[in-house]
Chain A
Amino acid sequence: MKIHEYQAKQLMAARGIAVPQGRVATTVDEAVAAVEPIVTETGNPVVVVKAQIHAGGRGKGRFTEYPDVGGVMVVTDGIEGGVSATEQAVSGLAEKMLGSTLVTMQTGDEGRTVNTLYVEQGIDIDRELYLSILLDRTEGRNVVMASTEGGMEIEKVAEETPEKILREVIDPAIGLADFQVNALVRGLDLNGDAAKNFVQFVKALADAAVAWDSDLVEINPLVVTTDGAVMALDGKMGFDDNALFRHPEIAAMRDPREEDPAELEAKDAGLSYINLDGTIGCLVNGAGLAMATMDTIKHVGGEPANFLDVGGGADEEQVAKAFRIITSDPKVKGIFVNIFGGIMRCDTIAIGIVAAVKEVGLEVPLVVRLEGTNVEEGKRIITESDVDVIAADDMKDGAAKIVALAG
């Protein structure tokens, strides 16, 4: 699960991790009202207005409706004109940004509608660093990654100048040890107050990452201010969905507007579904087989419209629900049901499909491949129904048939 930058900063602030002063706004009035207290508290006349969407690259992103406005706007009007000039500028920006569509390199051309802004204090930046905590799968442990190259894409740094990335693997029984923190301080060339503040920051963040069950905490950039403070200028966080049951306060931060409605509906029904761009709808049991079904469709010249894993223990009702989600997608020009029954029985799938077709109708070709547990019974149920189904011998045969039929 992902959250917004402002929510990440709220979580950090609550654990004593330094973040800039900021306020959330969902209306123009709230954005304007945020200015005066921030400027008064920080004594800095500059504020920054940041669009809140679940995608990176906001600074370089542009609004479709207002190509001169980016996702992160620095407002300097207050330096000469005082608070009222800042308020006026923020008002104009919020007017344009709220409800408009921000396109970044991560959103695709369709962009994302901005519903929330974060108004933040300006920062006098001395240095921009990079800091993240994430799982190293080979180690089976979390790793702290840090770099002097803040503000850049870390993948690019890793590719071009891998020696500039510092890594410290965290022993879960010990936590991030002092000698490891010291190595980071040296590697980042931090001294004096900045070093002291960084030590506090990274230790608190490492503890927090475990406490939150986050699968990624990325602070890019982590800034050192001209007076030696160290704070998170941006904050990207992801959380382990499997651990959300013990973090109701984080689960409540979910913003359904940032998620695909069909994916949410599927999740509520206990199905694993991901919407894609192609035309062949897929209904499969098992995550690996569901991925492989998409690959096979592509291999024979088609494009999958979705990933859908009904799981090992789905009942007829869930299968019917899965079928309805696929048929309600207007992109879908053909449906491929691919089942290898293990725990999941082929007759359960067959009953679910027949029920769903009877209920919602079938306007596109349907190819079904059944194999495994109770396969004969499954095939009989489909044959004896009046549902118009093309049977497939195996997975590749089924993929070829549906791609040919769907054009």
Chain B
Amino acid sequence: MSILVNKDTKLIIQGLGSTGQFHTEKAIAYGTNMVGAVHPSKAGKTHVFEGETDHSGVPDRPDTYRVELPIFASVAEAVAETGANASVLYVPPPFAADAIMEAAASEIALAVTITEGIPVADMVRAKRYLDDKKTRLVGPNCPGVITPKQCKIGIMPGYIHQPGKIGVISRSGTLTYEAVHQLTQLGLGQTTAVGIGGDPVNGTNFVDVLRMFSDDPETEGVIMIGEIGGTAEEEAAAFVAEEMDKPVAGFIAGTTAPPGKRMGHAGAIVSGGKGTAEAKIAAMTEAGIVVAPTPTDMGNAMVEAMG
């Protein structure tokens, strides 16, 4: 098993610009089942993707692929025509929140938003819109979601992943790759790796994903990677202490970050004494999470947590 995405995921893309095309190519090469694209001005046409198969992805495929991706005017139309159950968004920041709402209006199960730089006020409105919709938003400003050798949605390098038993949740892209790489080297592998994103307002939080991993029989342990800003890690720690039976390891980035400065991610800021790495590490340790002192130690922290 896995969470959020698997071999049955049928994916559409919103935002088929150069970045979207580049990553669609990689996703198809990995074996992700891409079924359509949304682009009003190109509706009715197709976009052809062809190239060499990425054999680190879905097994037992020919060495080359050719996919003629149909383009639709709207998400609703794409879902109706293809039966898609997930969308990935590479829509530019000024239009991204609207695209999220359009995805939600179609009641598609999952909308993974890669876009970085969406105005916070737009996300506040979009999140409100999602309140009574079935769609789960992951991101924005995230690397995406991958279940190794089944489905890759997003911008992560596929080949570092390996099917296994650890769930990964992270606010940071490159730190996710560090954790995944170490888990692969240790032979633990991953069930699913979820990037929840570095923005202050996002669709899916640590607690949401922890709950899913907790319910997933194949996931035997979880690594959660947080960073300064907000209190999501503290809330996650409380959940782990109260409701989680599986071992959890973690890391928090930003111990040395000066207060009041935004550290790259829009959400990574210590303000008014809130959101410090120290407070998060303390809450996690208190909850029984093994917190790695450096990212290089994340894999070993997982091993330690599993006893």
Contact = CB atoms under 8 A, between A and B. Distances in A.
B119 A173 contact: no
Interface string B146-187: 000000000111001000000000111111011001000000
Contacts of B143: 342
Given A140-B127, A154-B272, A289 B172 contact: yes
A243 B121 contact: yes
Interface in B5-37: 19
Interface stretch (A3-11, A33-41, A76-84, A293-301): A293-301
A151 to B, nearest CB: 16
Contacts of A341: 157
Contacts of B120: 135, 213, 215, 240, 242-243
Interface in B263-307: 263-268, 272-273, 277, 293-297
B251 interface: yes
A336 interface: no
A142 B258 CA distance: 25
A149 B53 CA distance: 65
Contact of A137 (B175, B261, B263, B267): B267
A291 interface: yes
Given A135-B200, A287-B172, A292-B251, A312 B155 contact: yes
Interface in B211-237: 225, 227-232, 235
A290 B19 CA distance: 23
Contact of B253 (A140, A171, A291): A291
Contacts of B297: 396
A307 interface: yes
B263 A307 contact: yes
B227 A288 contact: yes
Contacts of B272: 154-155, 158
Interface residue tally on B, bucketed by range: 35 or more
Given A296-B296, A309-B264, A395-B295, A288 B256 contact: no
A286 B116 CA distance: 12
A272 interface: yes
Contacts of B258: 274, 276
Q: Is the interface of A mostly helix, strand, loop or mixed?
A: mixed
Nearest to A289: B174
Contacts of B225: 288
A245 B266 CA distance: 16
Interface residues of A, number: 56
B210 interface: no
A286 B256 contact: no
B174 A285 contact: yes
Contacts, number: 171
Contacts of A213: 119-121
A295 B256 contact: yes
Contacts of B231: 137-138
Of A213, A243, A371, most buried by chain B (CB within 10 Å of CB) is A243
A289 B19 CA distance: 22
A394 interface: yes
Contacts of B127: 140-141
Contacts of B160: 372
A16 B225 CA distance: 45
A207 to B, nearest CB: 12
B173 A291 contact: no
A394 B179 CA distance: 12
Of A241, A295, A371, A396, most buried by chain B (CB within 10 Å of CB) is A295
A340 B174 contact: yes
A372 B161 CA distance: 11
A146 to B, nearest CB: 16
Nearest to A276: B258
Contacts of B1: none
A298 B256 contact: yes
B93 interface: yes
B123 interface: yes
Contacts of A67: none
Contacts of B198: 287-288
Of B229, B235, B273, most buried by chain A (CB within 10 Å of CB) is B273
A246 to B, nearest CB: 7
B128 A372 contact: no
A396 B273 CA distance: 28
Nearest to A210: B121
B227 A291 contact: yes
B118 interface: yes
Nearest to B93: A242
A373 interface: yes
Nearest to A398: B296
B157 A242 contact: no
Contact of B296 (A286, A309, A396): A396
Contacts of B228: 291
B177 to A, nearest CB: 5
B230 A296 contact: no
Given A172-B124, A243-B119, A274-B263, 8 more contacts: A135-B201, A137-B267, A140-B123, A291-B257, A292-B172, A341-B157, A373-B157, A397-B296
Complex A-B, nearest 4 residue pairs according to Cβ-Cβ distance, in ascending order: A288-B172, A287-B264, A286-B174, A243-B119
7 contacts: A138-B235, A140-B124, A243-B121, A294-B257, A307-B263, A343-B155, A394-B296
